Amino acid sequence: MPPACCVRNPGWCTVGIARARWDVGHCGSPAPSRGVDPGVSSTVLPWWRKILPGVLLLLTSAPALAQEAWLVTYGPGGDAWSRFGHNAVMIRDDERGIEINYAFGYFDMNRPGFLTDFLQGILIYEGHATRSQRELAYYRDQDRSVRKQRLNLSPDEVERFHELLQYHVRPENRTYEYDYYYNNCSTRIRDLLDKAMGGGLRSAMEERPARLNLRDHTHRLSQNDFWLHTGLMLVLGPGVDGERNAWEEMFLPMAMADQLAEFERAGEPLVTEDFHWYESAAHGAPRDPGHRLFSYALAGVLTAAFLLVPAWRLSGRMRWLPLQALAMVSALAGTGLLLLWFASNHDAIWRNAVLLLLNPLWLLALWRRPPLPPRGIIAVLGLLTVAGAIVLAWPEGYQYRPGPLLWLVPANLAALAALWWRWTTASGERGGYQ
């Protein structure tokens, strides 16, 4: 969720020949400015660059001869937007001297209405073709691993695959409605490969269980960045939980590479060559999700102390300022989650049980003398906190979020204690509430 995950260039899909991108999803790297390839500093295109896309399509539209199809998978990088990797298909024809990469996940952040559409979950992405060596060099320069796998396809399948890729990068066909987990750069390639193979890939993969579900993949690939991981785990709803099959797991470029490496049909492997063209010296991804429970528990204790110590030791307005600040943050966060649920197409964020812990009702804590009975307010917030703790702590349940839970529950309980203290103090000063 996707990151999840509105950060500048949250990086989800590769370098292209004629697009700037604010990539949001599961693929890629930061993009150069509009109309600029990596390594080209000027925003003014020379004449040969202006005609390059048309030349590439013209060259690749000739009849297929000695073609090869390769899956190219780019590993994660060090920035938040590159944690989920990216992939492309390389079509190589030695007889014609052609090496073209086809990839999906580009979009134009200068498009009018882009930000408004993004907030509403309207994500219009594009597919493009680019020269293989330039793209490979870019990812090598970014110190991101590059894995190449030759696909064992018949000549007819290679030709069909190539035709499908060409069709989907033409100007009139290249746009599509992006989804973090179900229609991203990796799933586009997966679907076109399945069509080229006559549907045999999907039928076989749907019978295999996934190694990890969507939540656990998101967890493991973001866990080394505390704030990114926290944001994703809080924002993503129960849609990323639950068991998945191998076909769905291929939303992730690295998972797709691993699944295809093990796939066989008619007793023959689908991948005949599999090697790392470049291995990153600094960036990698843990194979399984780890736990930062101590970090979250410590955050919970510190937040509780941040609320209770001033209430105990200070006087005047400063005494309740931490409580008011936390209440405002909780209320705004809950309001944001509600808007994303009811006013956007971000399916992965819907029905989020974190709303039991972070919700607009915390705005009532800003009043020194609340408009409703204080005991009732505290009881409702307390019951919501207990319900949230039960739902989010159950590993096989609706929505499992143990880490953030260890932060939010102590913070909420401390806030309720401080709120009770504040309102009972005000009640004693003013002769009680009606």
Place of tokens 């953030």: 404
Do 370 and 250 belong together in one domain? Answer: no
Angle of CA points 227, 230, 236, to nearest 5°: 135
Do 154 and 214 belong together in one domain? Answer: yes
Residue 35 placed within a domain: no
Say how far apart CA 170 and CA 162 lie, in whole Å. Answer: 13
Residue 388 placed within a domain: yes
SS3 266: coil
Tell me what pLDDT residue 45 has. Answer: 39
Q: Which two tokens stand for residue 21?
A: 């991108």
Say how far apart CA 210 and CA 243 lie, in whole Å. Answer: 8
Cβ-in-10-Å burial (0-12, 13-18, 19+) of 383 comes to exposed
Residue 433 placed within a domain: no
Average confidence (pLDDT) per 10 residues, the chain, 434 residues = 32 34 38 30 39 53 67 91 92 88 84 79 88 94 97 95 96 91 95 96 96 96 94 95 96 97 96 96 90 94 96 88 96 95 88 96 91 92 97 92 96 96 70 38
Tell me what pLDDT residue 192 has. Answer: 97
SS3 319: helix
Max Cα-Cα span within the chain: 92
Give the residue numbers spanning the domain of 373: 293-426
Burial 15-48 (b: 16+ CB within 10 A, else e): bbbbbbbbbbbbbbbbbbeebbbbeeeeeebeee
Tell me what pLDDT residue 397 has. Answer: 86
Query: DSSP string spanning 141-156?
Result: HTT--EEEEEE---HH
Q: What are phi and psi of 181, to 5 degrees?
A: -110, -20
Query: DSSP string spanning 177-226?
Result: E-BTTTBSHHHHHHHHHHHHTTTHHHHHHTTSBPSS-HHHHHHHHHTTSH
Q: Are 3 and 85 in contact (CB under 8 A)?
A: no
Q: Considering just the CA atoms, what is the radius of gyration of the chain in Å?
A: 26
Do 261 and 343 belong together in one domain? Answer: no
Number of domains present in the structure of the chain: 2
Do 112 and 205 belong together in one domain? Answer: yes
Residue 128 placed within a domain: yes
Residue 332 placed within a domain: yes
Tell me what pLDDT residue 428 has. Answer: 53
**Please, which residues bridge with residue 101 across strands?**
90, 130
Do 328 and 241 belong together in one domain? Answer: no
Cβ-in-10-Å burial (0-12, 13-18, 19+) of 206 comes to exposed
Q: Which residue among 222, 245, 278 closes a domain?
A: 278
Say how far apart CA 101 and CA 133 lie, in whole Å. Answer: 9
Q: What are phi and psi of 273, to 5 degrees?
A: -135, 135
Hey, which bits of 210-351 come out as E strands? 264-265, 268-269, 271-278
Residue 413 placed within a domain: yes
